Chains A and B, each alone.
Chain A
């Protein structure tokens, strides 16, 4: 498992996709997981990149936090979705294609808390001339609770 995110001063290239081929994939195969621990600066960067400036994500005094009984700033759901996107994009590689990926936001994650991103191959099939691989994907909090479960489908190149 790789540790990503926090304070990458020098540009790491660990996101670079090593190409996966359809023939090499097996049902039950786990994707290479990674962990990211977003600090407040990271969530502010995400706010700038995504355009979502909801203070829930960066202002610890935002009244709605207290009103909703939430103890700390919440990591954007879309930030977690994007981490799942990194996982599936890395799995597809530059020669593959992400066909679809979707998640539900079932549990909150909080600023400064680690999020581990995982996936497993659930099926592989050939359809419409494409080599498709179905995945279960999710994020876990530090206690191992799946806070962002979902599914994805990618198209992979063939070695043939």
Chain B
């Protein structure tokens, strides 16, 4: 099958181009909701006092949950919640289907309820295999002091 998409020099020139920042909130309610969503029964995700007794600031965000992007109907995608913002790469990708290709998270600290994180993402790479376009973005999460807390690499598969 012929490739449905070409990774042009114009696209490659956008690798590393950062988006504008966006705020992600980690609250006791959002941590508990995510923990319920994954079926966890670990009290470290639900019980603030228990979490503090274990040495954490508050209940701990389950692995992979890096907070919820602040949502406003004017600025966020209604289905996925991610922010539509300025900066970053601009690609005209195939739209017949969209699937998750992979996720990788690197932690420099645990994330706990009460944290506010500032996230910026950038395009890392685009690859094409037949009718599938693999787009990898990296999101960098920092605390308000500018310290990097986590980095998440997301690969989406756009089907043409």
Chain A residues at the B interface, C-beta cutoff of 8 Å: 4-5, 8, 11-17, 36, 38, 42, 45-54, 64, 67-68, 76-79, 81-86, 88-90, 94, 97-105, 150
Majority secondary structure of chain A interface residues (helix, strand, loop or mixed): mixed
- The answer to whether B102 touches A79, judged by C-beta atoms less than 8 angstroms apart, is no
- The answer to whether B104 touches A101, judged by C-beta atoms less than 8 angstroms apart, is yes
Tell me which residues across on chain A come within 8 A of B7, comparing CB atoms.
none
- The answer to whether A68 touches B97, judged by C-beta atoms less than 8 angstroms apart, is yes
Q: Which residue of A lies closest to B51 (CB)?
A: A94
- The answer to whether A38 touches B39, judged by C-beta atoms less than 8 angstroms apart, is yes
Tell me which residues across on chain B come within 8 A of A16, comparing CB atoms.
41-44
B153 interface hit (Cβ, 8 Å):
yes
Q: Inter-chain contact count A-B, CB under 8 Å?
A: 134
Tell me which residues across on chain B come within 8 A of A76, comparing CB atoms.
100
Residue from B36, B38, B40, B56 having most chain A Cβ neighbours under 10 A: B38
Q: Which residue of A lies closest to B32 (CB)?
A: A49
Chain B interface, number of residues (Cβ within 8 angstroms): 43
Chain B residues at the A interface, C-beta cutoff of 8 Å: 30, 33-44, 54-56, 62-65, 68-69, 71, 78-82, 96-97, 99-107, 110, 153, 155, 159
Q: Which of B41, B69, B81 contacts A15 (CB 8 A)?
A: B41
| Interchain residue pairs A-B with the least CB separation, the first 3 | A102-B104, A85-B63, A49-B37
